[in-house]
Structure 1
Amino acid sequence: MTMALPLIFETRGAVALITLNRPERHNALNPEMICRLADAFDRFEADPELRVAVITGAGEGSFCSGGDLELTLPLLTGARQPETEWDHRLAANREILFRSNFKGAHSVKPVIAAINGHCLAGGFELMLATDIRIAADHARFGLPEVRHALIPFAGALVRLPRQLPHAVAMEMLLTGDQVEASRLLALGLLNQVVPPQEVLPAALRVAERIAANGPLAIAEVKRATAEAAGRPYAEGYAIETESMDRIMASEDAREGPAAFLQRRAPAYRGR
């Protein structure tokens, strides 16, 4: 009997489906899963046929409960020495940890979170790195790190105050309390809250709609919005204009309007 992989990478047309697969451990991120997640994102980025990624968790209990307190956190603090090849790989290169949640480098391809259950700690930080979030109505969200004398270090200290009102972000960061999906939907951190069985189908429908659009245009939208964030208007407009110039010079930009006028489906080639 073969053991199930802790992370599953599937392709559905132009959509990559990435599943965190440790439901018996609330999909906690152990060193192997972190390495495999970084590799999965690298594979997604490198494949020109893949245009959108959907990341979800196995089961209906948890999307991801964060870093494994038994395996990952002790390895990172030095309380546990590397034992497996995954331990050694993560301990030798912490950029793998950062690549597993897009810390320091944003993807130019859209990533959708299909949040099937509780979304905590590193799982919450992974969600913050995504573009669109669809959550189960029973899911709860939180950053409990301070309760363990730790801090979030996978992007939340930077991303959360930019994605939520300051007071709400600081309440979550400083208390470690959990928040219901309905509250985060009202605050705009989530796009949809649906029954558990609808989470993945809803996410895939959005992914397919995005994948049908011009891939170069999608990439420039992501690149320009990320690079312009926090900059003065003049600098932001300059970044937007650079994106405009790249898109207007592309074959796809000529194909899109032509297909519309000819009442046919566009054939985008990504060039």
Structure 2
Amino acid sequence: MSGTRATGTDGGAAHDGAPGGPAPGGTEHLTVRREGATLVLTLNRPEARNALSLPMLVGLYDGWLAADEDEDIRSIVLTGSGGAFCAGMDLKALAGGGMAGEEYRDRLTADPDLHWKAMLRHHRPRKPVIAAVEGVCVAGGTEILQGTDIRVAAESATFGLFEVRRGLFPIGGSTVRLQRQIPRTHALEMLLTGRPYTAREAAAVGLVGHVVPDGDALGKALEIAELVNACGPLAVEAVKASVYATAGMTESDGLAAELERGWPVFATADAKEGARAFAEKRPPVYRRA
């Protein structure tokens, strides 16, 4: 991959995948580190409130792939640096005709859908993705959020799809996905007014699941990730896949698809280990088998 390699969130160079330390990969606007079995991806352009850039999009896409390819990773946490999640598209750069990190342009040329995959529009990781939101999460930030599975927001976080206020269209998937995730009347109000929403408002309509004190979003997300990590990984991934695969089906078709995906899980060694550990009153040791 072209361009400067990442530094970890602690400022050190990315060197290995040790728990709690930097992990391989990332870019200057997207840092990657391991927290046990969780891969933490941090949008890292605080001077622009983590507005999208080419290095950020490339780093995100590579991060989703890395998490799915590493069988020791059981969950992903997405967060932002500098007290912000993501302010969306860099409108100043757009007006000026370019985005930061043009040296990554070859990646987009090779895969014209890379930016959509990075924003989780055309791509769904098989590992659960937990968002930890502090500060602004608007426009493209709210669009990326809709691609995550579990969402934690700090008390002062702000959400919204501001595109119509700028004469733009929220083309990251919001006109399709938002109405499937929150009641349509709320989805349309958010889309058509372009107004900001507080964390409490976002929780009230179901856009986020937890509201925590400022500064605690990442901690809460990692706490949830640990609960996910303690479960059987084959079961977790099958459950996530089933939820999304059956979302557009009729109930009868969905139930049939659920059986087709779920029954094989019962035949795994992990399923037997779960039952054995319960009987023996000990934590299970899952081996993804």
What TM-score does the superposition give when structure 2 sets the normalisation length? 0.87
Structure 1, 147-156 or 246-255: larger mean CA deviation: 147-156
- Aligned equivalent of 1:70: 92
Q: Does 2:81 align with 1:39?
A: no
Local SS of the residue matching 1:197:
coil
Q: Quick one: which of 224, 230, 248 aligns to 2:242? A: 224
Letter in 2 for 1:241: L
- Aligned equivalent of 2:49: 26
Long gaps (5+) in structure 2:
8-27
Given that residues 158 and 196 in structure 2 are in contact (C-alpha distance below 8 angstroms), is that contact kept between their aligned partners in structure 1? yes
Given that residues 82 and 88 in structure 1 are in contact (C-alpha distance below 8 angstroms), is that contact kept between their aligned partners in structure 2? no
Counterparts of 1:8 and 1:108 in 2: how far apart (Å)? 21
- Aligned equivalent of 2:73: 50
Q: Quick one: which of 221, 237, 253 aligns to 2:255? A: 237
Per-residue deviation, 1:80 = 4.6
- Aligned equivalent of 2:17: none
Cα 1:142/1:91, change in 2 over 3 Å: farther
Per-residue deviation, 1:157 = 1.6
Cα 1:83/1:250, change in 2 over 3 Å: closer
Q: Does 2:188 align with 1:188?
A: no
- Aligned equivalent of 2:40: 17
Per-residue deviation, 1:95 = 1.4
Per-residue deviation, 1:102 = 2.1
- 1:140-190 deviation digits (Å, cap 9, x = unpaired): 111111122211122212110111111111111111111111111112221
Letter in 1 for 2:39: A
Structure 1, 148-157 or 25-34: larger mean CA deviation: 148-157
Structure 1, 36-45 or 104-113: larger mean CA deviation: 104-113
Counterparts of 2:226 and 2:103 in 1: how far apart (Å)? 36
Counterparts of 1:244 and 1:93 in 2: how far apart (Å)? 34
- Aligned equivalent of 2:163: 145
Per-residue deviation, 1:106 = 2.0
Letter in 2 for 1:33: M
Per-residue deviation, 1:98 = 1.6
Given that residues 58 and 115 in structure 2 are in contact (C-alpha distance below 8 angstroms), is that contact kept between their aligned partners in structure 1? yes
Q: How does 1:148-167 map to 2 (within 5 A)?
A: 148-167=166-185
Given that residues 53 and 100 in structure 2 are in contact (C-alpha distance below 8 angstroms), is that contact kept between their aligned partners in structure 1? no
Long gaps (5+) in structure 1:
none
- Aligned equivalent of 1:98: 116
Structure 1, 245-254 or 95-104: larger mean CA deviation: 95-104
Structure with the bigger percentage of helix? 1
Q: How does 1:107-126 map to 2 (within 5 A)?
A: 107-126=125-144
Structure 1, 84-93 or 47-56: larger mean CA deviation: 84-93
Structure 1, 144-153 or 13-22: larger mean CA deviation: 144-153
Letter in 2 for 1:223: A
- Aligned equivalent of 2:20: none
Letter in 2 for 1:107: P
Counterparts of 1:97 and 1:42 in 2: how far apart (Å)? 13
Per-residue deviation, 1:99 = 1.3
Per-residue deviation, 1:82 = 10
Local SS of the residue matching 2:137:
strand
What TM-score does the superposition give when structure 1 sets the normalisation length? 0.92
Give the root-mean-square deviation of aligned CA atoms. Answer: 2.0
Q: Does 2:30 align with 1:7?
A: yes
Counterparts of 1:250 and 1:102 in 2: how far apart (Å)? 30
- 1:64-116 deviation digits (Å, cap 9, x = unpaired): 00121233x469xxx55998221343255331112112223322210000001
Counterparts of 1:189 and 1:102 in 2: how far apart (Å)? 16
Given that residues 54 and 203 in structure 1 are in contact (C-alpha distance below 8 angstroms), is that contact kept between their aligned partners in structure 2? yes
Counterparts of 1:104 and 1:30 in 2: how far apart (Å)? 18
